[in-house]
Amino acid sequence: MVYSLNIHFVVYTIYNRRKYRMQCPECTQRVRNLRDYYMKNSPVSVVGYPPWKVQRTMMLFYQGWREGVHQPTTRLRRAFGEQYMQAHMEPVIDPDELIVGQPDLHPLSDAEKALHDQYEDIYRNVIPPIRGRSDHMGLDYDKLLQVGVQGLLDEIHANDAKLDLFNADDLAKHEFYLGCEMELQGLLTLAQHYVEKARAMAQESDEPRKSELLEIARVLEKVPANPAETLREALQSVHFYTFSLLGIYSAGRPDQYLYPYFRHDIDNGILTLSEAQELLDCFCLHYITNMCSWAAAGFEVGGRTRDGKAVENELTWMFLESIRHTRSADPSVGFAVTSETSPEILKYAAEIVAEGHTHPAFWNDQGITDSMIRNGYAEYDAHWWTHSTCVEITPITKSGVSITSPYVNVLKVLLGALDEAQDGISFDDLMELFRKHMNAQMVKDIYQENMWQMERSRNGNDPFRASCLTDNCIALGKSHECGGAPYNFIEPNMLGMLNTTESLNIIWNLVYVEKRLSLSQFRQICKSDYENQEDLRQYIIRKLPHFGNNEPFSDELAKRVSDIVLESCAPLKSYRGAKIIPGAFSYREHAIQGRVTPASPDGRKAGMPLTSGSDPVQGYDTSGPTASLLSTAVWQPPRFLGGTAVNMKLAKNTPNLSDVIVSLVKTYVQIGGSELQINIADTDTLLAAQTNPEAYQDLLVRIGGYSDFFVRIDKDMQDEIIRRACFNA
């Protein structure tokens, strides 16, 4: 559903666009202070896990679950727990904050810890556990900003009043509406507690902080309960609603839905450009307070409006500039590149990456939109996509899509097929055997995922208030977990797909071309983890042709493997009757799965990480960045809407580095790639960071589909990044 704004929505255009370059405001001292404070007092460093596992927050939910015993259904008891948790959360307002809302990380007392453990034991034994993937979606923030939570409640009440409570279908809708109302009322209570806290702090503060705290109170007394009118109110409303969910949610396309409020404030003298930038920076910094470094959440800028008009406005530039100011792993910022993206802003984004920020990732907007349309999305919806967390593609405001569940270790599937293969089998028959095993694996995995979806439809997983900002859910009286959202695909994630390609490539060369080994001999060498076969392993690594070098046979093999993966998903349906559309990236699972995967024909030893995303085996793409991208594009990554992540590592001393990045992005978009993410860190720097981590605390790297601080990740993942080819283009 589309809501008309009181403030006219315009897409910012430049009269002489090719000569335009926006000068974004400098980072303020407030933002620098907040960044330093958050990095020392947030889930990144304090607890090492995300806010939805913070003990104090979970204890409140457990208490709510216990006190909600009177609720007639499990779903309503969950909703009561959510309401109780929000109503009893301690407001947290840190020094210098203008946008507020974060979990309380104060440690539990001994008595509280004992109570927490008692409740947790009850929870684990009584409450249905989480099954499959939760959250990972972009909500309808347009609607929130235009009608507020009170508008959502009015819509819920109007729909509920029409029901016949002695009709089974209507009774199920009534349950949904009751749960939504409970949770939204809890959110309003939480906002009011923040108002009271800000006013109390103001009484004990001097100027200018006193006025800032009173303004925080004023804003939260208005939003998220009511429609926003200013940029600050809009940012606070979006952040507060999202923070309350204690999950991973994409902010969608903020340079579009926030633009009318920004333009209104600038035109009416409410904000200067510098003040607006500071507010955006404060908003972006809260990803640190609400996200541990090994998770990912963010938003997309650029791209197109729902009706296909190219977007490039002041906020597009300013959100990119926030990457410089926040210098953090999150938000995960994506830049959707279109045929109308100006050279100036593309160069600007490239300069930011060249500085070593790891954001933005570059996305082929048209390639993704075309793939979504081919898979059944309406064109109107296909223009408004987002990477929901890492790189999974989901529709903003309309997602019941289940992402990265299940994870499928494609390399293990191939190893299982090799165990069955007999000497003398033709290569084509070997490929068919791999196909058979892949088909069987997907039937098994999607069956399990569908069982989990059925369980979630009964007892829930995500809070009801996520469905309140998902199209059709309130109108239908169904949560997105019960099929209320328009799109309900499953996006399983294929790990090690390029290890599989490379393994088949090596088998072809060693067994079928050179006839150096029989298939059974090679299989035994892998099972022995290349024991006494290091010469052979080095021959594989250094002498044989590899995928990633624009080499015809291995490139065609990658296409065949990707086709088999897609075809294994094609006959299957989700519990809600939707398609299965895979992804091919890793998050950090390439290291986790690698630890339990035996040695493989590609030269990988047992326990080593799989490929980190959708790119060649680490260090095998030795013919330069363009050749690597040409190979990657051969298997048509946009077909994998579950997400692809092409990692590229460039040396910082590369001449004209930002121009090189621009050229690579243009090339990758032109040849039909999907997503490109770039690390600017040479091998010497990474090795130095391993040796002296204290000197490299701010060194950011791209992992699989997300960013993290290099010195905080496990050594096997550090080693995997070091092994990646580093290009000096």
* DSSP secondary structure code for residue 135 in this structure: -
Supply the pLDDT for residue 135.
Answer: 87
In whole angstroms, what is the distance from residue 522 CA to residue 517 CA? 6
Question: Using an 8 Å Cβ cutoff, are 378 and 464 in contact?
Answer: no
Q: By C-alpha distance, which of 403, 453, 90 is closest to 248? A: 403
In whole angstroms, what is the distance from residue 471 CA to residue 140 CA? 7
716 burial level (CB within 10 Å; 0-12, 13-18, 19+): middle
Query: The tokens of 668 are what?
Result: 């990758």
Residue 531: phi and psi, rounded to 5, are -60, 125
Residue type, 509: N
* DSSP secondary structure code for residue 51 in this structure: G
Query: Model pTM?
Result: 0.95
Per-residue exposure over 693-707, b if at least 16 CB sit within 10 Å of its own CB, e if not: eeebeebbbbbbbbb
Q: C-alpha distances in angstroms, 180 versus 191, 234, 247, 461, 474? A: 17, 22, 17, 14, 9
Q: Which residues, at least 6 apart from 228, have a Cβ–Cβ distance to it below 8 Å?
A: 145, 148, 222, 234, 236, 237, 261
For the stretch 469-524, pLDDT in tens is 999 999 999 999 999 999 999 999 999 999 999 999 999 999 999 999 999 999 99
Question: Using an 8 Å Cβ cutoff, are 51 and 290 in contact?
Answer: yes
Per-residue exposure over 306-334, b if at least 16 CB sit within 10 Å of its own CB, e if not: beeebbbbbbbbbbbbbbbbbbbbbbbbb
Q: By C-alpha distance, which of 322, 544, 543, 557 is closest to 428? A: 557
In whole angstroms, what is the distance from residue 94 CA to residue 160 CA? 40
Question: Using an 8 Å Cβ cutoff, are 542 and 618 in contact?
Answer: no
Considering only the C-alpha atoms of the chain, give the largest distance between any 2 of them, rounded to a whole number of Å.
Answer: 84
Residue 335: phi and psi, rounded to 5, are -115, 110
Listed as ranges, residues in the chain with pLDDT below 70 are 1-20, 44-53, 128, 293, 729
Helices (H), 534-656: 534-542, 552-569, 589-594, 625-634
Strands 298-302 and 332-337: parallel
Query: The tokens of 609 are what?
Result: 């990480």
For the stretch 195-245, pLDDT in tens is 999 999 999 999 999 999 999 999 999 999 999 999 999 999 999 999 999
Q: Is the dihedral of CA 55, 56, 60, 61 positive or negative?
A: negative
Q: At what angle do helices 110-126 and 55-67 cross, to 10 degrees?
A: 60
